[in-house]
Structure formats: C-alpha cells, structure tokens
Chains A and B, each alone.
Chain A
Amino acid sequence: KAGVTQTPRYLIKTRGQQVTLSCSPISGHRSVSWYQQTPGQGLQFLFEYFSETQRNKGNFPGRFSGRQFSNSRSEMNVSTLELGDSALYLCASSPGVGQGLQPQHFGDGTRLSIL
C-alpha cells in the first residue's frame, strides 16, 4: 500500500508570491490534515479535510487555505507569501473516524523556502 505522497519535496518562492502544495493520502483514507513545522513554533495544525469539507481549522491567517477533491487528494494554498511562511509543511491522512486506534500517517513533507 502506497504511503502519503506530498509534492513537491522542495519549493523556493519570493515574498508576495503564492504557492500550492499537494497531498495524496493513503488509498481509502478520507481525512487529510496539514501541519506547519518551524524551529520556533514547532508543529502546528493548519486544517483538516474530510469528504471534501473542512472539518477543523487551526489558528492561521486567511492567507492559508486548502481544499480536498472527491478522490481525497488535498491541496493547500498560501497567498502573499511572507518570510515567516518558510517551513516544512506536513500532510497526514487517516480513515477519519476520530479514533486514535487508526492514527494518522504522515508524508515526507514539502520544504518551502521564502526568499
């Protein structure tokens, strides 16, 4: 069974640009969550999508958005990039029933660098 796939692995952008990151979950998983990892703030929850609906949202500005498609693949978009958006963005998938017995599986992440 293929794992969680995130593309691209690395991305370099400049301030003010926008970026779209992609996540393909494990087959059969309907929940996709996104996390931002930085040295200063650690791992922070961005949002979670389940069956194409945003089910939970973290404390991030509106520049951060996402969506989920009918095949459960998800994208997150960051507009008007700022230097502070430089981070590792991790995607995780799970069946989505909210039970820790079926925990989340993570992708390798997308390393976003803002110049």
Chain B
Amino acid sequence: AQTVTQSQPEMSVQEAETVTLSCTYDTSESNYYLFWYKQPPSRQMILVIRQEAYKQQNATENRFSVNFQKAAKSFSLKISDSQLGDTAMYFCAFMLAGSEKLVFGKGTKLTVNP
C-alpha cells in the first residue's frame, strides 16, 4: 500500500518570502503521479501542481514549483513570493497510474503573515 507523509503540521511565512513544504511517499510502483492540493478555509480542494513520475523535470506553475526526487521518494513544494491568499492547508497526494484513487498526506497548515 502507498503512504504519504507530511512532516510539518504547521508552517508560517512572511508575505513576499519563500517557503518549502515537505512530502515523502512510499511505493514499490514506478508509474504514478504526485499532486499538491490547497484547501483554504472555504474548504474546496484546489489543485496547485502535479508531477508525472516518469518526468525528471520538476513541474512549475507560476510561483509554485516542486523538487521531485524519485529515488529518495521526496516531493516538496516551494512557494515563492508568498501572498496572503496562499494561507491554507496544503495536501500532498499520490495516485497510481491507471487508478483514480488519491492517497493523501495529513496536510500542512500554512499561514502567510503580513
């Protein structure tokens, strides 16, 4: 069974600074996808960024980028130029190719301070 671990329950950052959220996962499979989802207090889960395991290049979406280390089974999220609207719970998630089942970590509560 796959597991996802987020070791930082809470983090805070000053507006305009950079913050990195950690995620590790465990799987014996080679073909899978990794995601970061954001859940603001409004509670809707919003996809932030995704990474295909077969791609070595790290995914980037505007201010959000990942550091994907397949051998180490690590998938961290870097948020640059943090904004107040980035305040939310961030969940790392794993999905096997061919499946629609997402396995989530426990989440990291990020607070961006003015």
Q: What are the residues of chain B within 8 A of A11 when measuring CB–CB?
A: none
* B interface footprint on A74-115 (CB within 8 Å = 1, 0 otherwise): 000000000000001010101010111101111111000000
B107 touches which one: A42, A58, A94, A104 (CB < 8 A)?
A: A42
Q: Please state if B99 and A105 are interface contacts (CB–CB under 8 Å).
A: no
Q: Please state if B43 and A109 are interface contacts (CB–CB under 8 Å).
A: yes
A103 to B99, CA, bound (A): 11
A108 touches which one: B37, B43, B91, B101 (CB < 8 A)?
A: B43
Q: Please state if A108 and B100 are interface contacts (CB–CB under 8 Å).
A: no
Q: Please state if B97 and A43 are interface contacts (CB–CB under 8 Å).
A: no
A100-B52, A103-B35 given; A45·B101 CB < 8 A: yes
Q: What are the residues of chain B within 8 A of A88 when measuring CB–CB?
A: 43
Residues on A lying within 8 angstroms of B by beta carbon are 31, 33, 35, 42-45, 48, 50, 55-56, 58, 88, 90, 92, 94, 96, 98-101, 103-109
Q: Please state if A100 and B50 are interface contacts (CB–CB under 8 Å).
A: yes
Q: What are the residues of chain B within 8 A of A42 when measuring CB–CB?
A: 104-107
The 8 closest A-B pairs by CB, nearest first: A100-B33, A106-B45, A43-B104, A98-B98, A42-B106, A108-B44, A48-B100, A31-B100
Check if B103 is an interface residue, CB within 8 A of chain A: yes
A33: nearest chain-B partner, CB-CB? B100
A50 to B98, CA, bound (A): 13
A35 to B104, CA, bound (A): 10
B99: nearest chain-A partner, CB-CB? A98
Task: Quote the shortest CB–CB distance from A30 to chain B (angstroms).
Answer: 10
A90-B45, A107-B44 given; A99·B97 CB < 8 A: yes
Q: Please state if A109 and B50 are interface contacts (CB–CB under 8 Å).
A: no
B46: nearest chain-A partner, CB-CB? A106
Listed by A's residue number, 9 A-B pairs whose Cβ atoms lie within 8 Å are: A31-B100, A33-B102, A45-B102, A58-B101, A92-B102, A94-B100, A98-B99, A106-B37, A109-B43
A106 to B105, CA, bound (A): 17
